[in-house]
Structure 1
Amino acid sequence: MPENKKSKIRMYSRKGVKVAIPNFKEEVSISSMFEIFITDKSIEGISNRTLHDYHVHFEYLMKFLGENITNIKMTKEMFKNYLSFMLHEQCLSPVTVNVRIRTIRAFLRYCFLHGYIEEPIHEYFKPVRTKEDTLESFTPQEIKRLLSVVEENSYKGFRDKVIIYVLLDTLVRCAELINIKRTNIDLKAGFITLESLNTKTKKGRTVPISTKTIKLLKEYIQITEEYKTDFLFLTYEGEPLSDNTVRKNLTEIGEKAGVNKRVSPHTFRHTGALFYVLNGGDPFSLQKILGHSDMSMVRKYIQMTNTDVKKQHNIFSPLNTVFK
């Protein structure tokens, strides 16, 4: 058992604000702390997908540790070694490593702020630097190729066509897409309401839809009316689509079209954001549509190729104002 450390409350500075940290607790296993952490996260209402990621990444950590250690044995050196192990022995990419680090850091931060560990290990267990690559997006020609191989005469094909239009037009995430309900759609006004429970930020938002998408949605809603269900996108049997099914179907469409890029909901989100700006849309309305709280992520989404920049420059060159 550790020596008694209840003599005084610890103070910790978070973003310049001092926070009181509870007294150091008794010895407890890392798995027990993780279960308490997960229970609290569940109460907060985070998505099932995020909870799943927490469990998966914790299992990776446990395999590295090799035993169910206690809070007394948890040190920053141990987690630095785990970082080195992922990078240099498992040879994982920095992007993959960072995904795992972020979830474990959230757990470590929780342990520290709730008095389970003495040291703010999360401050030393930080994401590694990665190269600033341009996010992959489709060209207009590639989108036309994807749509051309969709067999829209079948229910599945027509549904997948509608999904592609909605993804590209509204820039919604896959988890948001599959949770859209029929009552969330206002075809007359041209909006889809995304409920706060199903968004990544847990904030509801309304996204506009264009005339082409409205037309397809109207037809699709009529076709699926007989299923008598709240959800919009359904299987042939009338069950709500899962995100895995959406991803799998898009991958198959990409392979059939011969598009040598990752054909996923997120690629459509990147593409839609880029096209929005290239078509003259402002970044502030784009930020609201994407559902981002700050502009930094918007900047990542609208990275342009040199060709894109050249086209925009030809249209908006300052010299055009001088020599009209």
Structure 2
Amino acid sequence: MTWTNLLKDYLSYLKIERGLSQNTIDSYQLDLKKLILYLETNHITTSPLYITKDELTQFIYSISKELNARSQSRVISGLKGFFNFLVFEDYRADNPIETLESPKVGRKLPDTLSEVEINQLIEAIDLSKQEGERNRAILETLYGCGLRVSELINLKLSDLFFKEGFIRVTGKGDKQRFVPIIDHTIKYIEFYKTYTRNHLKIHEDYTDVLFLNRRGKKLTRAMIFTIIKQLATKISLDKTISPHTFRHSFATHLLENGADLRAIQQMLGHESITTTEIYMHMDRTHLHEAINSFHPRR
């Protein structure tokens, strides 16, 4: 079996049986193609059925010069998943990379925006332009609901349950969750729908998609990044931000104002509470308040 054939089978497995998102699958594919390119460049003809730990270790060493510890760990994790798949499918008896240790990675703390900075970004939107109301609704939705960028661009009209105060969000692995939405955010989405979206010539494939470009088609991830980068430049914001920064800010501000960590976990769609706990570093003042208020020896 060739690398190409087994890679194709593995990608199908990730999509159909594991139900992973296309972005995650693309990342796995990219990392495995790096290995294949390394083998070709160095004239190593071994197949995935017989490649050894030493050969894989040399590959990891070669990419360590250009990738940081976090990226190396991701590549190693992806390779372990691939060879576990080969073992599971009885293509080989062992996982040659099973015992290879990943470099130690410190937990990356997310960047956040203050409420003032978020307001400044939104106020910098030029509402005289056709896309102005749309962009304001986008930023209000990112911050108001804590969505991932992929969840935002795939949000549909049929996902809006404003009377009930919720939106239906399709997250990683096509898992759906209901996220509460406040009246403030609803107001700007409705304004965009009425005064911008209703005047677009909408492509027949995207009639149910909420946020559209001027051609009536679904926005891309890159377009959302561009909108935010341009606004950050406009207000001379001295931070590197992305759509995900609004999600981090959403979670951090909820926690700072006393929201329950498990409630935040459900809204963000995190499978594990430990993923949500990363936000605990942002403001520890509530911890002091808790012990001063409730400990019997306060």
- Fold-level match, TM-score > 0.5? yes
Say if 2:3 and 2:36, in contact at 8 Å, map to a contact too: no
1:230 Cα deviation after fit: 0.6
Please report the RMSD computed on the Cα atoms of aligned residues, expressed in angstroms: 2.4
User: Do the aligned partners of 2:21 and 2:173 also contact (CA within 8 Å) in 1?
Assistant: no
When residues 113 and 52 of structure 1 are mapped into structure 2, their CA distance, relative to the original with a 3 A threshold, is: same
- The answer to whether residue 146 in structure 2 is matched with residue 194 in structure 1 is no
Seq. identity, %:
23
**Corresponding residue for 1:309?**
284
1:137-186 deviation per Cα after TM superposition (whole angstroms, max 9, x unaligned):
11222212212221123232221111111111111111111111111102
Q: Deviations over 1:120-150 (max 9, x none)?
A: 2342245321123422111222212212221
Deviates more, 1:220-229 or 1:314-323: 314-323
**1:48 aligned to 12, 17, 22, which one?**
22
Say which SS state the counterpart of residue 192 (structure 1) adopts: strand
Please say if residues 149 and 257 of structure 1, whose CA atoms lie closer than 8 Å, have aligned partners that are also in contact.
Answer: yes
Distance 2:11 2:287 in 1: 50
Q: What SS does the aligned partner of 2:172 have?
A: coil
User: Which residue of structure 2 aligns with residue 253 of structure 1?
Assistant: 231
Contact 1:64 1:82 in 2 (8 A): yes
CA distance in 2, matches of 1:49, 1:319: 45
Return closer, same or farther for 1:319/1:180 CA change in 2, 3 Å cut-off. closer
Aligned AA (1:46): L
Structure 1 residues 323, 49: closer, same or farther in 2, change over 3 A? closer
Secondary structure of 2:281's counterpart equals coil
Superposition TM-score, scaled by structure 1 size:
0.81
Alignment of 1:1-324 (within 5 A): 28-44=1-17, 45-66=19-40, 67=44, 69-87=46-64, 89-90=65-66, 92-195=67-170, 199-223=171-195, 224-227=197-200, 229-300=207-278, 302-305=279-282, 308-310=283-285, 312=286, 315-318=289-292
Contact 1:30 1:68 survives alignment (8 Å): no
1:256-309 deviation digits (Å, cap 9, x = unpaired): 222222321211111111111111110111111011122110102x1334xx32
Using the alignment, how far apart are the partners of 1:124 and 1:280 within structure 2?
42
Please identify runs of 4+ aligned residues in structure 1 that moved more than 3 A: 313-317, 319-324
8 A contact 2:155–2:209 mirrored in 1: yes
1:60 maps to a residue whose letter is K
Which letter does structure 2 place at the counterpart of 1:33? L
The answer for unaligned runs of 5 or more in structure 1 is: 1-27
Q: Are the counterparts in 2 of residues 234 and 241 from structure 1 also a CA contact under 8 Å?
A: yes
Q: 1:253 to 1:33 in 2, by over 3 A?
A: same
2:208 is paired with a residue whose SS is: coil
Give the 3-state SS of the residue equivalent to 1:215 in structure 2: helix
Aligned residues: 288
Change over 3 Å in CA distance of 1:32–1:137 after alignment to 2:
same
Tell me how far 1:102 sits from its aligned partner. Answer: 2.8
- The alpha-carbon deviation at position 319 of structure 1 amounts to 5.1
Shift of 1:41: 2.6
In structure 2, give the amino acid aligned to 1:69: T
Describe the shift of the 1:289–1:46 C-alpha distance in structure 2 as closer, same or farther (beyond 3 A): same
